[in-house]
A = this chain, B = another copy of it.
Amino acid sequence: MAPIRLGMVGGGNDAFIGAVHRIAARIDGEYQLVAGALSSTPEKAQASGVALGLAADRTYDDFKAMAIREARLKDGIEAVSIVTPNHVHFAAAREFLKRGIHVICDKPLTSTLADARKFAAAVEKSDAKFILTHNYTGYPLVRQAREMVAAGDLGELRVVQVEYPQDWLTEAADDDNKQAAWRTDPTRSGAGGSTGDIGTHAFNLACFITQLTPDSLAADIQSFVSGRALDDNAHVMLRFEGGARGMLWCSQVAPGNENGLRIRVYGSKGGLEWAQENPNVMAFTPFGEPTRLLTRGGAGMSNSVAHLTRTPGGHPEGYLEGFANIYSDAAALIRGTADGKDLPGITEGLQGMHFVNACVTSSARNGAWVKLG
């Protein structure tokens, strides 16, 4: 099948997440990058287009111009990846959605809840598909966990422990650290620092696997590094509808942690544990029996996750392959060959914004419980 023609907004030279999206789009050969508005700086946009081998007339200085022209081209882009800082997501997505171009957008959804609500309306109005890259839901064993919970293997859920520690912001970032700069700037990142950047991933993962509806949270957020405007550590207690409880910890100031997303779920009949840094194995314990190590591609995997792995067990697949699973599932959704039921979209995006908002609000109220959504 011919690859889907893809455009990109953001992701110019030096951008971390743009390069990741491009690899994810390439791994299964489902997309071909043909256009881009790769930077808000025209020179950089052009240079980045050249570096990526884009045609000159499909390298744009401005996402709106790109949306307008590509929509008119006979072989214009069918989908666009938006990989800018958070505050640009909505403005860019709107232009493509209204022209029927599918949008694959980095998380969190926006920098403000107000924008998020308008974003939801825009998605609602459009015929185009909208996918939010909560990429950790693309790991095969995360999907397996979701299935096992749904199948009742854990019984009635009681406790969800999720955490996402990193250490890269332990000290004040250097001035030229672009990744740190916008992530610690409220005008570009939004109200949440660690809560927005990684807490939303942890929260999404908990909801994705458990399929519980979050009810409320109580949070204590901190900025440990002097002069930092946004939180760099957050402690959160969670309540889910139906009585399950949880804790969420995210931190960017925990030395020794690179990208330590990890989840544990416990129910009346069993428990499971998965950690992103060694994602090819998951521990599952039926209560009263020995713990079993389930491996990606190994014994005991559900048929429905088989399409998410490319190699047999023991051939580790990682972050990029998990990300690619989002892209390839999105391709199937766009092509109409799958229903995308496991893909995160606008609902999850809004939920993430509510999470950040509730963390900030609860903490401002000294940890009072705040309703979610």
Find out whether the CB atom of A312 lies under 8 angstroms from the CB atom of B26: no
Which of B276, B277, B367 makes the CB contact (< 8 A) with A367? B367
Find out whether the CB atom of A291 lies under 8 angstroms from the CB atom of B235: no
Q: Would A235 and B224 be within 8 Å (CB), given that A170-B268, A290-B300 are in contact?
A: no
CB contacts (< 8 Å) of A167 on chain B: these are 271, 285, 287
A199-220 vs B: 1/0 string, CB under 8 Å?
Answer: 0000000000000000000101
Of A93-101, A104-112, A317-325, the one with at least 4 CB within 8 A of chain B:
A317-325
Find out whether the CB atom of A277 lies under 8 angstroms from the CB atom of B277: no
Given the complex of chains A and B, what is the CA–CA distance between A86 and B220 in angstroms? 33
CB contacts (< 8 Å) of A126 on chain B: these are none
CB contacts (< 8 Å) of A310 on chain B: these are 19-20, 23, 320
**Interface of A, helix, strand, loop or mixed by DSSP:** loop
Find out whether the CB atom of B319 lies under 8 angstroms from the CB atom of A311: yes
Closest residue on chain B to residue A239 by CB atoms: B220
Find out whether the CB atom of B293 lies under 8 angstroms from the CB atom of A289: no
A31 to chain B, nearest CB (A): 11
The answer, yes or no, to whether A233 is at the interface (CB within 8 Å) is: yes
The answer, yes or no, to whether A118 is at the interface (CB within 8 Å) is: no
A237 to chain B, nearest CB (A): 5
Find out whether the CB atom of B235 lies under 8 angstroms from the CB atom of A237: yes
Q: Would A369 and B369 be within 8 Å (CB), given that A159-B253, A171-B287 are in contact?
A: no
Of A68-76, A259-267, A333-341, the one with at least 4 CB within 8 A of chain B:
A259-267
Find out whether the CB atom of B247 lies under 8 angstroms from the CB atom of A249: yes
Which of B27, B280, B318 makes the CB contact (< 8 A) with A23? B27
Given the complex of chains A and B, what is the CA–CA distance between A294 and B220 in angstroms? 32
A164 to chain B, nearest CB (A): 10
The answer, yes or no, to whether A373 is at the interface (CB within 8 Å) is: no
CB contacts (< 8 Å) of A158 on chain B: these are 222, 224, 233, 253
CB contacts (< 8 Å) of A42 on chain B: these are none
Closest residue on chain B to residue A1 by CB atoms: B53
Q: Would A319 and B320 be within 8 Å (CB), given that A26-B26, A27-B26, A253-B266 are in contact?
A: no
The answer, yes or no, to whether A152 is at the interface (CB within 8 Å) is: no
Which of B3, B168, B249, B279 makes the CB contact (< 8 A) with A316? B279
The answer, yes or no, to whether A120 is at the interface (CB within 8 Å) is: no
Chain A residues numbered 109-134 whose CB sits less than 8 Å from any CB in chain B:
none
CB contacts (< 8 Å) of A279 on chain B: these are 316
Q: Would A280 and B277 be within 8 Å (CB), given that A292-B291, A312-B259, A317-B320 are in contact?
A: yes
The answer, yes or no, to whether A227 is at the interface (CB within 8 Å) is: no
Which of B27, B53, B288 makes the CB contact (< 8 A) with A320? B27
A214-256 vs B: 1/0 string, CB under 8 Å?
Answer: 0000101010100000000101010100010111010101111
Which of B3, B289, B298 makes the CB contact (< 8 A) with A299? B289
Closest residue on chain B to residue A139 by CB atoms: B316
Closest residue on chain B to residue A264 by CB atoms: B254
Given the complex of chains A and B, what is the CA–CA distance between A299 and B167 in angstroms? 12
Given the complex of chains A and B, what is the CA–CA distance between A8 and B22 in angstroms? 24
Which of B272, B290, B314 makes the CB contact (< 8 A) with A277? B314
The answer, yes or no, to whether A269 is at the interface (CB within 8 Å) is: yes
Q: Would A367 and B237 be within 8 Å (CB), given that A224-B158, A290-B295, A300-B289 are in contact?
A: yes
Find out whether the CB atom of B268 lies under 8 angstroms from the CB atom of A247: no
Find out whether the CB atom of B291 lies under 8 angstroms from the CB atom of A256: yes
